[in-house]
Each structure stands twice: as structure tokens, then as C-alpha cells.
Amino acid sequence: MKITSQTNRFEEKIPSKKEIEFWYNNAKKIWEESLKKQGVSLPLLKRNESVYIQSGVALSFLTRKVGAITTKKELDWVVSIFMNIPTHDIQDGRHLSDQKGWNISKEKRGIYICEDINIPYPYFNNHRESGNLTEENWEEIKRKYKYICYTCGTKEGEINSRVGGAIVILQKGHMDYDKPLTYDNTIAQCQYCNQRYKNRVKFDIKGYIKI
Ligand SMILES: [Zn+2]
């Protein structure tokens, strides 16, 4: 795996692919046994044999050990290494608990702690945010539109001025914000479009604004 020079200060903590897969499979096993029934959602680890998925890598690293302390910087960095993209500000640490239900707390600013791997996050509200959309559904939705924002056409993984010169990361957008995020009600949007239109605008299947 290629490591860029900007990341050298954390070098001793780089997890191997084997470790990332081992931790992920451990979380997956517990999810299958108990968390799934409680509405917790499991992100996929890989898109295919060699391409990792951000939220899966984040889950693996954050749940590597109960009580493990991870700084946001470390998480950003580990994810960037596995995705082979420059370090950027990811929100997966927060989303894994609030939206997906994993028991990862944020005791202090910029620090994540894996509290427990057997019980869901206590403040998790699985119905409001996630509907019944699975990670497989979400990957399918993105694949259908070739990893392009339905609304503005920016491409996932590209650096784009529309998102302030950052990397485009597709987010789950509601077509109809009055309905839950289900397969038929979800479009992929870049972080700019997703924030801009949140709970204000309804979209059709092509990402056009419904009038
Ligand atoms: Zn967009």
C-alpha cells in the first residue's frame, strides 16, 4: 500500500489490510448475531476486491477494541490510506453512531471511544434517518448513476470547487424529504447539494427539482 510523506508521523499505527479485515469481520459477526435485529446498520468494507469503502474502514478501525480511543485525525488518516485518497475531513465517526447505531461515543471533541460492541448506541434513532435502505442498496444507487451527484453532476472522489475544493463524497439525499430514506426515495448527492437542499426541495428520480 502506498503511503504519502504527509502521513509519516502516524506511521507506527498504520493498520494492515489483514487487521482492518479482521476487525471488520469481528464487528460483522456481532452485528449478525444481535445488532442487526436492533436496527443497527452494517456498512460494507469493500466495493470490490481492491476498493475499500470509507464507512466500512472507519467502522473496522473504531471498533478494533472495546475502549479503544481514536482521534479524528487518526481516523481521517487511516481511511485516506485505505481509500488511496488525500486526507480529508470525514464524518463517519459521528454517522456510525447517530445514523447507523454503533456504540461509539464522542467524549471530547475530536476523540472517539468504542464503548461497547454488543449493544447499540443509546441515542440511536434508526427510523428517522435511515428508513430501510441497506448499504447494498446505497452502493447500488451510486453505481446506477456512475458515482455522480444526481443534482449537479460532480463525481465522487474528485476534487471540485463546488464543494469548496474538497473531495466530492456522495451522500444520501431524500427525493421526498417527508418520507424515510428507502431505496425508492434516495438519490446520491454531493455534500454541497445535500446540505443546500436538505428538507427544502423535492427531487424526481433524475435529481431534478420537482416544481
Ligand atoms: Zn451536487
Cα–ligand 1 centroid distance for 64 (angstroms): 34
Asked if residue 208 has pLDDT above 60, the reply is yes
So what's the pLDDT on residue 65? Answer: 92
Cα–ligand 1 centroid distance for 150 (angstroms): 7
CA 120 to chain centre: 17
Cα–ligand 1 centroid distance for 63 (angstroms): 32
Cα–ligand 1 centroid distance for 152 (angstroms): 4
In angstroms, the CA 59 to CA 75 distance is 10
Number of H helices, E strands in the chain: 7, 7
> What's the pLDDT tens digit per position in 95-118?
898 888 899 988 667 899 999 998
> What's the pLDDT tens digit per position in 46-88?
988 888 999 999 999 999 999 989 998 899 999 999 988 888 8
Give, as residue ranges, everything with CB less than 5 Å from ion ligand 1.
149, 151-152, 190, 193
So what's the pLDDT on residue 121? Answer: 85
Query: How large a percentage of the chain has pLDDT more than 70?
Result: 90
- With 0.75 as the threshold, say if the pTM is over it: no
Compare 111 and 210 and report the one with higher pLDDT: 111
Cβ-count burial 168-189 (b if 16+ within 10 Å, e if not): bbbbbbbbebeebbeeebbbbb
